[in-house]
């Protein structure tokens, strides 16, 4: 069966006037695809990544590709509150608010939970949960003042199927991120702030899968559909959920995994 093609972006002004901040957006994966998707929709896109050189290179590349958008690169390490504060100081001084926050950064070291190095555990928590929470804490007041905002937390279905054994610490922190989504939806709802989770399994077009292509052939990685999601599929879902067409969707977790989580 032929894999359906992603639809073209038909409206270059879809996100005109919106400021979108994407974490880990310079790693040739979901974050970069998401930044590109919002730039194609005419947003002001803040590309952030802890790698300063890549951050500026991706911002320059997207600027060349999408002349109707504004793309800015700002180095940001989500595991450091000092780094978050410094980056947001620049963003808020220039734009006043962030309309869409995409918490995409993730960290995972595969190891049995009982053998997990405590320092690695701390880093997993800092990147996958504490950093996204602190970004929300800093940005939600400006969203509240502007009476609009969307938080998209990029996660996994692993917490719903028991953690996945040797990647349990990753699943544990992502489970916390999923709860953060609902907390933001509850508290932000009266101010027009929405929050959603985009959950996934194996995704083509990411650095991890490029380095471990054998994972695509593992039975546990295959869904009920005959194709595996790409980084572009995830970016398209994020863009839909962040847009006005999804204005009544909040507090939800949307699985984009070709039905992998339904496998026995």
Of 116, 157, 170, 261, which one is the catalytic site residue? 170
Locate 72 and state its tokens.
């800015």
Closest CA to 80 of 120, 136, 123, 33: 123
CA 203 distance to own-chain centroid? 13
Strand order across the beta sheet in which 252-255 lies: 70-75, 44-49, 19-22, 100-103, 149-156, 193-200, 252-255
Q: What DSSP string describes 53-122?
A: HHHHHHHHHHHHH-TTSEEEEEE--TT-HHHHHHHHHHHHHHHS--SEEEE---------GGG--HHHHH
C-alpha distance from residue 126 to each of 165, 178, 199, 247 (Å): 21, 15, 19, 30
Residue 253 φ/ψ, nearest 5 degrees = -115, 120
CB 71 within 8 A of CB 39: yes
**Count of positions (residues) in the chain:** 264
Of residues 117, 135, 130, 128, the one with CA closest to residue 173: 128
User: Which position has the token pair 């009920």?
Assistant: 224
116 belongs to the catalytic site = no
C-alpha dist (Å) from residue 38 to 15, 101, 254: 7, 12, 19
Point out the residues that are catalytic: 170
């Amino acid at each position: 069966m032929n894999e359906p093609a992603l639809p073209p972006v038909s409206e270059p002004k879809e996100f005109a006037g919106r400021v979108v901040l994407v974490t880990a957006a310079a790693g040739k994966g979901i974050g970069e695809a998401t930044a590109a998707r919002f730039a194609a929709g005419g947003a002001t896109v803040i590309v952030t990544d802890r790698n300063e050189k890549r951050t500026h290179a991706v911002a320059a590349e997207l600027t060349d590709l999408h002349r109707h958008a504004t793309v800015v690169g700002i180095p940001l390490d989500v595991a450091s509150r000092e780094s978050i504060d410094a980056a947001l100081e620049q963003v808020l001084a220039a734009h006043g608010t962030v309309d869409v926050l995409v918490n995409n950064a993730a960290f995972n070291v595969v190891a049995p939970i009982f053998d997990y190095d405590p320092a690695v555990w701390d880093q997993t928590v800092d990147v996958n949960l504490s950093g996204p929470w602190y970004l929300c804490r800093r940005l939600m007041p400006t969203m509240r003042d502007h009476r609009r905002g969307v938080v998209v937390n990029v996660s996994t279905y692993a917490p719903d199927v028991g953690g996945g054994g040797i990647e349990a610490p990753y699943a544990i922190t992502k489970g916390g991120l999923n709860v953060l989504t609902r907390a933001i939806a509850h508290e932000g709802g009266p101010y027009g702030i929405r929050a959603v989770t985009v959950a996934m399994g194996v995704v083509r077009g990411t650095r991890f899968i490029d380095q471990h292509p054998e994972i695509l052939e593992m039975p546990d990685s295959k869904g009920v559909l005959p194709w595996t999601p790409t980084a572009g599929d995830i970016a398209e879902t994020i863009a839909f959920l962040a847009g006005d067409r999804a204005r009544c969707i909040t507090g939800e977790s949307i699985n984009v995994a070709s039905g992998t989580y339904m496998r026995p």
